[in-house]
Amino acid sequence: MSLPPTKTFAVLLTALLLLTAAPSADEKHLSVYSSVATYTLPVVDRTGKEYVGLLELLEPFGRVNSRMEGQHWKFRFNEIETDFVAGRSRARMRGKEFELPAPFLIENSRGLVPVSSLSALLPRFLGTPVNFHESARRLFIGDVATHVTAQIENTNPARLALNFSSPVNPTISTEPGKLRMVFSRDPVVAPGNQTLIFDNKTITQANYSEANGAADLTISAAAPLMASFTNNGRTITIAALAQSTPAATETAPAPGATPPVLTQTPSVTAPQFPAMTSPPLLAANGHRFIVIVDPAHGGDERGAALTDRLAEKDVTLGLGRLLRHELDVRGISVLLLRDGDATLTLDQRAGTANAAHGAVYVTLHAASSGNGARIYTALLPIEGPISGVFHPWNSAQAPSLAVSQSIASEIIGEMQKQQMPARAAVASLRPLNNLLMPAVAVELAPGPNGTADLSSANYQQKAAAAIADAIAAKRSSLAVQP
């Protein structure tokens, strides 16, 4: 079944944004590997030192937000509050002071910490050991490293078997006499930069090195090479081709076998895009104005423990269903990304919303502290200059940010009419950064009756009605054109 032209463009745009998420080779970046997420962050040079954004660094591991108080940058990660001061190397956490190796910096309300501080700083927040390859800017959180062993087979033709402790998916390219594998997203490690010399006349050596957030394994040989993957990506076999072997073979692979990748010409591993559902562009009632409602968490991801028995994912789902109803009675079409206890990745949420060509995106959260609601808009990461019509995946929200802030203000006004305290905030709260449409996050906090209000249908209804009223008020300026 073919997609309508509008939807085809939306899916293509989402795919291109995902592709641009990979950092440019000439930029400095930090790669972070953990059991929670693997991601890359830009590194900037300031006063002769390398710096990285603290919010972006910790965002995948918990709830983060910040606020400015004069020269003080108040940062909160889960239940840990830290006080940084612009231009000073001393910070305060849990009532105790600690030193940074270089001054803390604030740029556009963003907190930057020196890269050299990460080995000592991150365990304070995460409570787990980290292994930082500082010269290569590769950060390993917990026991996540993938180890590799090499074994040469003096057969005819020669073969080199590389066995990895976990599946890998490198980018592969060639040049005369060499086959190169670059591991950007795989936590591949070896004992330091090293060269293995093989007692073989064809495949002579393997060189391992690390730089700029990636590991590089280059195989040198006296003949063209081909690479094949087996053992579910845990084994890569490099085989030499006889000089008389043609560039392409007509021989069909054995049934069930993974065909080898011939490497006379460079080949690049295709990017893996998140699975996306296919929501209709037009609702059944014919409305073109579609609001994407995204109850946060779900499935294996419970979110915050609001009480001993109440998980955040349950509150957000109930609130999402009520918001869908409130929008529907106002004649506004809704795509509810999660209408059950489903597990969705952040990229799946963003990809589905973008493909649906929504007019507004609202993600719903809940917290056991504070009161009323907090309305967040995106805190965009530092990105390089934009080239062409596509924005990098991590700052796709940039063109819509002003409208997002306007919607947030409208929601706050409507909540205050309902006698619900509400305030605006900015946070590096994915997937807000990745969305092409105006996007806000609404975090529902306890009401007059404390955390008991979080599971109260009446309290949730009041919040849902305020959000729906705000979106209805902005509808004329946000209507999607055919």
Predicted pLDDT of residue 24: 45
Three-state SS at 31: strand
Q: Is 137 left (phi over 0), alpha (psi -120 to 50) or beta?
A: left
Which helix or strand (DSSP H or E) is residue 315 part of?
helix 312-329
Residues 19-74: tens digit of each pLDDT:
333 444 458 889 999 988 888 888 999 989 999 999 889 988 888 888 889 899 99
Predicted pLDDT of residue 348: 87
The lowest-confidence range among 6-15, 242-251, 316-325 is 6-15
Measured between alpha carbons, how far is 206 from 150 in angstroms, rounded to an integer?
9
Burial level of 481, CB count in 10 A (0-12/13-18/19+)? exposed
Listed in order, the ranges of the chain carrying CATH 2.60.40.3470 are 146-243
For 327, list phi and psi in degrees, rounded to 5: -70, -40
Residues 428-438: tens digit of each pLDDT:
778 998 898 99
Predicted pLDDT of residue 307: 86
- 2 pLDDT more than 50: no
Which CATH superfamily, name and number, covers 25-141? Copper amine oxidase-like, N-terminal domain (3.30.457.10)
Task: Cis check for the bond before 279: say yes or no (omega within 30 of 0).
Answer: no
Predicted pLDDT of residue 383: 53
- 392 pLDDT more than 50: yes
The lowest-confidence range among 125-134, 142-151, 255-264, 353-362 is 255-264
Residues 409-447: tens digit of each pLDDT:
999 999 999 889 999 988 877 899 889 899 999 999 999
Residues 83-115: tens digit of each pLDDT:
999 999 999 998 899 999 999 999 877 899 999
Contact by Cβ (8 Å): 73, 86: yes
The lowest-confidence range among 2-6, 180-184, 424-428 is 2-6
Listed in order, the ranges of the chain carrying CATH 3.30.457.10 are 25-141
Share the mean pLDDT of the chain.
81
Residues 292-315: tens digit of each pLDDT:
999 999 988 888 889 888 899 999
CA quadruple 386, 388, 391, 393: dihedral, nearest 10: -110
May I ask the CATH class of domain 290-476?
alpha beta
CATH fit for domain 146-243, picks 2.40.440.10, 2.60.40.3470, 1.20.1250.20, 3.30.230.80? 2.60.40.3470
Q: pTM, whole model, 2 decimals?
A: 0.49
Q: Per-residue confidence at 467, pLDDT binned at 50, 70, 90?
A: very high
